[in-house]
Structure 1
Amino acid sequence: MTASEPAPFGDRLAAAFGTYGHLCIGIDPHEYLLKEWGLPLSAVGAHEFGLRVIEACAGRVGIVKPQVAFYERFGSIGYRVLEEVLVEARAAGLVVIADVKRGDLGSTLEAYAEAWLSPGSPLEADAMTISAYQGFGALEAPLRFAETSGKGLMVLSATSNPEATAVQTSIIQRESQAGKTVAGGIASRVADWNAAHHDGQQLGSIGVVMGATIDFEDVGIDLDELARGPAAPILAPGFGYQGADFSQVRSIFGVTAGQVIVTASRSILSAGSEGIRDAIDRQVAQVAEAYA
């Protein structure tokens, strides 16, 4: 890496882990949360909500994950305030993962990557969630774009919703991943990409989304593959409100625990505007204890 090249996303994520630990806070202005926080169900309310969450997170955690859908529902003004939330989060030194879950192919998917990962873009984030269910090969353009711009991708592999089981446990019939489940094949391709493109990094810049409530053996994911260097970051929803206990991160993720982004939103956001700082501090301490 030269002086003009951006630091890889994996390096920035590793630095956040080292300074603040593994906790990531979702910025999810659900309708009921806006009401509980005394904010209007509007872009104005979502804007204020996001700024308050960022203020509470700064100096306490290193990673946030705005859920774009809760801003998108307000149309163009929703995107306008989201732009400000993203700018403020990055200005606060937070690693920002835009939870957009875009999935397409070719130039369309490349355009999504340009929107969310371009340096200087109004929607610039450090990484974005993305779907590979049109085939991992369809991610070629965003993978290359992320590599050259120092950004990250978090690829959906094993999501926690039960409706996904039939698809994610289907067996691949072709190519090098034949015999693997769809979920396992995606995880394996991510591991292969990091090995080929991020050699020498502690963490690769391409990761996977794997719910903490999933039995990874049942869905055919080999954790050892994801742990081999450079390790693939694992964005792990499912802690707190969805049922996984923060203290179980090592028992759930085994050899990959050190690369897990421990994600929580409603379990912390429900503490309200006045209680969110204390809730974050408690959760940071609990996650730190789990890693001790």
Structure 2
Amino acid sequence: MRTLLEFEKPIAELEAKLEDMKKLAEDNNVDVSDAVRNLSSAIDTLRAETFQNLTRWQRVQLSRHPDRPYTLDYIERICSEFHELHGDRTVRDDPAVVGGIADIDGVSVMIIGQQKGRKTKERQHRNFGMPNPEGYRKALRLMKLAEKFGLPIVTLIDTPGAFPGLEAEERGQGEAIARNLKEMMTLRVPVICIIIGEGASGGALGIAIGDRVLMLENSWYSVISPENCSTILWRTWEYKEQAAEALKLTAVDMKQNGLIDGIIAEPQGGAHLKWDEMSDILKKTIIKEISELEKLTPQERISERIDKFCAMGVVVE
């Protein structure tokens, strides 16, 4: 059964009326084509108005929609082949991070992403998409393997943050993320990073240093989630909507602040409604970006990558 967010309910009510109208006409052999056409037009108008005027908090809600495609859903749809690789060769395999060699329209790539779970057991198995240090070390191992064999790297980011548990800190969570930031900056192959859902803090940044950093229209990217920001400032989650506005964490905000390179439009109503259409858009974007980046030499890509990130957050007085 489809999950509805509060602002989606008026649209769903009209859609239910439309289905009832079609069924009634079919059962009674009545022509209601004009009424169906008018109601369909009203639904399209309402959907367009609703999604053009979403608040930042509503975008956050969409990024977490339980029906939204996750990393493995996209891999299944955009890759004709995918061979998953496991383990960090130090501690264990982290199921919160998936990655492997894939084929996208005849182009071989190394694709890596954070994976959440849908059912309770899978969520626990994937640790709700929150990687441990070995997840970041696995990701780096796969990136180095890609560099060795000249494969472009694609990362799909969707995490509420790196796992904050004591055991993760004991195994060097901060060091693992910091090493990824350093190593990704000088990878000689094209690196494309796409935030497909949640992009929280260092948990996201640990696989988000690339030649192109892109965001899906209804994703978010910030140093902290609205709930945690609200908890710190007001000691309650009640002000999460105000926190989201203050954080300016949407794709449009990030583009305006020069923190990402582009926004990938979602089908009207959000990616959760049209997985195949969203996957097709994503595939075309990846192929286009790889084609453009391969025109540059490795040193040109590295120099541009370093210059881009060094320019962020610089204050001139």
Q: Shorter-normalised TM-score: what interval? A: 0.3 to 0.5
TM-score by length of 2: 0.34
